[in-house]
Structure 1
Amino acid sequence: MSFNGEATSDVPTLPGTHSGIPPYLLDKARRAKDGVFDTRTKPVNERRRSVAVPQGIERDVFLKALAELKEQLGGQHVEINDKPLVDGWYMEHPNTHDMMTILDDEELVASAVVYPGSTEEVQTVVAWANKHRVPIFPISMGRNLGYGGAAPRVRGSVTIDLGKRMNKILDINPDDFTCLVEPGVSFYALYEALKEKGYDHMWLDTPDLGGGSIIGNTVDRGVGYTPYGDHWACHAGLEVVLPTGEVIRTGMGALPGNNTWQAFPYGFGPYSDGIFSQSNYGIVTKMGMTLMPNPGGYESFMYTFPNEEDLSLLIDIIRPLRISNILENVAQLRHVAQSVAARGLPRSKFYSGDGPVPDSVIHAAAADSPVGDHTWAYYGMSYGPEQFRAYKLSLIDAAFRKIPGTKKIDPATLPEDEYFWSRDRIAAGVPDIHELRWVNWTPNGSHIAFSPVSPIRGVDATALFALGKKYHDKYGIDFFPAFCVGLREMHLIVEIVFDRADPQRRREALDCLRDMVDEAARLGYGEYRTHLVLMDQVAGTYSWNDGAIMKFNEKLKDALDPNGILAPGRCGIWPRRYRGRGWEMTREKGIVAEGDGVSDE
């Protein structure tokens, strides 16, 4: 069977491959894959491609350097990227480019992919890159969808795919509630390992989709939805290959023979872990993580609220409950438009006109669902023994009912494929694959995220909602906002869904995002995370004191990576060789990712 010339195969599974789906999700994954290909119209390019050679090195010299690397690692562990770019889907994604590209396919593309099998082989690759001045771009598994996927920021970089051969769970300590993993360990894989070992007293915290790398997600400061949802705060100890090839261990790992590397994150002296998150200062090859104790019981709940204008009061109600941990997890307040899209049906099933789908159409679709019509839906979880849960849930219920028209949804009335049950599983530490169904909203569905951070205040939520709505209306894009509420802050996550086969839709999505980033910064709201294409712009908004933080970042980059080989441009941090040559992507520059060469210094 095939769709649009692209053959389908069965979904890869664990333990057969490190990037596979757990058997308990196999049927659901198959349905998700069918949904992706049912809406795909983008033609498949079957022609062989020319290798994208990085600027600063001649083609013949580069190919000879790759031949040398093959000799060092073994030919089967170095792949030249001269084949057609196949987008695949979530469980069979590419490691050469972004499967949800917002630019032309050839803009952010790797020249080759290498597969080291150990920290020592990562050192070998780094030494090779320094010798030949070749840019390298490490990925754990490349599933950072919405933020660039596996694509390198500099065209022609050699991708270091750490996950394929470095995918071991090195330790699970049932007494300390910790683990130690390599980059190729997904949330799916760790969950399966905990179950296999019978460690039901420990929970894993998982993001919306469980197929990503635990290291990759954590180092990029991703989040999950239990009380352990701040993944970076829950890590303990890194092993890092520096851009010059040295290996360090942070925290207690710097003490030979230590026995508390995963139990105490700080060690002695400066705390250096932070410079390896959202940076290009090192390649993380091992990471420790703390696991959550089984709370002895849990209960999901869902409330809906009828009006957009309820947002301000609702956020102000949530704030004291969240800060006091009555609302215990990183919960979601989701707009009805995204809830409708989460059914996985294309937009054309509801509306065929131009511009955003009218509110009347969205509300009619919601009214026809098991949840019923609403504007906001809050998904939460209460943890602990029944009597503790009952007390906390009574406080939550009394607070939410201050909003007229509030409804508490009875889970018993919801079918098993309702989105509520995905949130229930995730908040209980069970990885799922439901979340990306809303990407099927458009043909060749892709997404890119607007992710500003603000205090948990109604006035801030209202301002950010109005900002997003204004620019989505300007560009004719359907508006999918969701607020994720932490202990002292909240993230507004707006997913722009677009047809990646349509250059106009790609440009509209990018222009909309650029407008929102700039206006949010003027109002004092900064992005916590962004797509490769937006990194220079977002980094530029952190400009206090004449850009002091970027000057500091560049000093670190020049000291740690004097040859500028490691992930140049990631998070807006460019090595000295690239600066002043137009590599930064700005609105004025347009949609070209490359600059004018590199310095020979």
Structure 2
Amino acid sequence: MSALETALAAWRAALGEEHVVTEPEALKAAETATFATTQRIPAILRPASTAEVQACLRIAQEHRVPVYPVSAGRNWGYGSRVPPKDGSVLMELGRMNRILAHDEKLAYLTVEPGVTFRQAHAWLRAQGSQLFITSIGGSPDASMVGNALERGDGRGPHADIFQHVCALEVVLPTGERVETGLARFPGARAAPVFRWGVGPSLDGLFSQSSLGVVTRMTFWLARKQPYFREFFCAVDEEAQLWERLDRLQELALDGTLRSSFFFWNDLKALSVMQQYPYAATLGRTPLPGWLLDQFREGFGRWAISGALHAPDEELGAVLERRLAAALEGVPRPLQFAPPPPDGESPFQGVPTDINLAMAYWRKRTPKPEDAHPDRDRCGFIWCSVAVPFTGEEAQRAVGLADRIPRMFGFEPNLALLALSPRCLYLVVALAFDRDKRGEDERALACYRALARELSTAGYYPTRLGLQSAEDALPTGDDSPALLRRLKQAVDPSGILAPERYVPGFPGEAPEQSSEMQK
């Protein structure tokens, strides 16, 4: 038998026949992303415990069969479930979906990688908890652990998600098990509340990484506040936006704005509210200016949105006045939404799939109730870069991000995400119809031109995807060599997620380093 056939027999013995999937239909679905891919998956493994993950990786090492781990597999816009390397066996961790620990006073939740944002919210609500986990702009059925490991972003005071996790349990490619922070010490009572532990901190090694499979993680939660208000402000002119952006940065730095807030352009908002108006344009793309002008009459050119949190109404009123002063001079008034019942809001942990509508923007068929962009052949690619939090830097980066998609016939769907007082994420979405001939190729060419222009200007990615396989990110240090040495130490046969994050391993190092999205 071949090495793969021998490994499959061993995996069936370890997991059970039904949890080693080789049916063509299931494999084809796993090989599909929101842009063109050619990789083939020979099998899908579905372990249900850390011990089974260890067994899977030991078998992979013994027979030198590459394995690619995913949690929920909803990494839409970055590659979904598709491995970077052809012939990699997919290891799905969705059966590992237990909530392992919860502490209301110390505000934490410990979960396995199959636990989704929807599941965690429902569980906390059933407990009558006043705590919440950050909600994300992606699917509510995405994995909390998977999103955190990708250093994803969300809404609320813990929007930079990986900054608020600790106590990882990790299975190395050899099958060895390690725990980070104090969790490695027997009976360590502060393991879920103290991130660093003793000695070098290992957590970051397993984020955007191919060095191990995370099988447990503790999330620090936020507490619902007595005063909570969502706000919205429309901006008609970009010149007004950059000045207000600087003012809001000051409010984030002094603690007035403790939660994430966002700047959306008109095209992003329109793509959430409706699909492309093919009837009005007689089937032509991209969207003509006169139609966009009609939408701007109600929305503006950009919108600023977020939420204020405070322990009482008195302090909340102070925050409202400070926010209003920062936005003074904008022709359209600052608006505050009424308090939601029970504090239930996306800014306080309620998951929503409303943003998935963006993936269907250019589709000619209606978005179904159970949206699934891979299944529905939506064309969608993300490009996200880090930008210093100043009006001048934001204006420069947005200028590039606005121009490049137009050159390729796409609408520039743009957002600036304020997740910290010092750095913005500029997030660009390319939406297209995979059923239209040539769109896959044109979208990938657009992405590569956009990524190249932004990095040349000094704006580098916050995360990368499978679409970034040909990207070359030059480094000015010896970090690529260090990564290869780490990979050699923990994965001597190179079986875990090969060709992701550690270019040139095994084998000769390329001249320039490149990364690939988990």
TM-score, length basis structure 2: 0.91
Deviation at 1:401, TM superposition (A): 1.8
* Corresponding residue number in structure 1 for 2:347: 427
- Alpha-carbon deviations, 1:478-527, whole Å to 9, x = none? 11000001221000111100112335211111111111211211211100
* Corresponding residue number in structure 2 for 1:378: 304
When structure 1 is superposed on structure 2, of 559-568 and 382-391 the one drifting more is 382-391
Deviation at 1:567, TM superposition (A): 0.3
Q: How far apart are the structure 2 equivalents of 1:179 and 1:580?
A: 41
Q: How far apart are the structure 2 equivalents of 1:544 and 1:254?
A: 35
Deviation at 1:533, TM superposition (A): 2.4
Q: Tell me if 1:181 matches 2:111.
A: yes
Q: How far apart are the structure 1 equivalents of 2:512 and 2:314?
A: 61
Mapping for residues 23-422 of structure 1, pairs under 5 Å: 60-83=2-25, 94=29, 96-100=30-34, 102-104=35-37, 107-163=38-94, 165-199=95-129, 201-209=130-138, 210-352=140-282, 354-367=284-297, 372-384=298-310, 385-403=312-330, 405-409=331-335, 411=337
Could you tell me whether the CA contact under 8 Å between 1:311 and 1:461 is conserved in 2? Answer: no
Q: Tell me if 1:513 matches 2:440.
A: no
SS in 2 for 1:407: coil
Distance 1:514 1:150, change over 3 A: same
Distance 1:524 1:304, change over 3 A: same
Could you tell me whether the CA contact under 8 Å between 2:231 and 2:305 is conserved in 1? Answer: yes
SS in 1 for 2:427: strand
- Alpha-carbon deviations, 1:216-249, whole Å to 9, x = none? 0001101111111111010011000011111001
Aligned-CA RMSD value: 2.4
SS in 2 for 1:448: strand
In structure 2, stretches of 5+ residues that fail to align are 364-376
* Corresponding residue number in structure 2 for 1:16: none
Could you tell me whether the CA contact under 8 Å between 2:362 and 2:431 is conserved in 1? Answer: yes
Distance 1:558 1:440, change over 3 A: same
Deviation at 1:462, TM superposition (A): 1.2
Q: Which one scores higher on RCO, CA 8 angstroms, separation ≥ 6?
A: 2
* Corresponding residue number in structure 2 for 1:15: none
SS in 1 for 2:432: strand
Deviation at 1:366, TM superposition (A): 4.0
SS in 2 for 1:467: helix
Could you tell me whether the CA contact under 8 Å between 1:304 and 1:409 is conserved in 2? Answer: no
Could you tell me whether the CA contact under 8 Å between 1:98 and 1:108 is conserved in 2? Answer: no
Deviation at 1:575, TM superposition (A): 2.3
TM-score, length basis structure 1: 0.79
One-letter amino acid of the structure 2 residue matched with residue 425 of structure 1: S
Q: How far apart are the structure 2 equivalents of 1:506 and 1:300?
A: 38
Q: Tell me if 1:470 matches 2:403.
A: yes
Deviation at 1:108, TM superposition (A): 2.8
Could you tell me whether the CA contact under 8 Å between 2:117 and 2:143 is conserved in 1? Answer: yes
Could you tell me whether the CA contact under 8 Å between 1:223 and 1:230 is conserved in 2? Answer: yes
Q: How far apart are the structure 2 equivalents of 1:350 and 1:569?
A: 45
Q: How far apart are the structure 2 equivalents of 1:270 and 1:542?
A: 27
* Corresponding residue number in structure 1 for 2:473: 541
One-letter amino acid of the structure 2 residue matched with residue 484 of structure 1: L
In structure 1, stretches of 5+ residues that fail to align are 1-58, 87-93, 587-601
Distance 1:424 1:362, change over 3 A: farther
* Identical amino acids, percent of aligned pairs: 28
Question: How many residues of Structure 1 are paired with residues of Structure 2 in the alignment?
Answer: 498
Q: How far apart are the structure 1 equivalents of 2:203 and 2:354?
A: 33
Distance 1:272 1:531, change over 3 A: same
SS in 2 for 1:184: coil
SS in 2 for 1:381: strand
Deviation at 1:123, TM superposition (A): 0.7
- Alpha-carbon deviations, 1:52-94, whole Å to 9, x = none? xxxxxxx8442233123212221111011523766xxxxxxx5
When structure 1 is superposed on structure 2, of 165-174 and 439-448 the one drifting more is 439-448
SS in 1 for 2:447: helix
Could you tell me whether the CA contact under 8 Å between 1:341 and 1:347 is conserved in 2? Answer: no
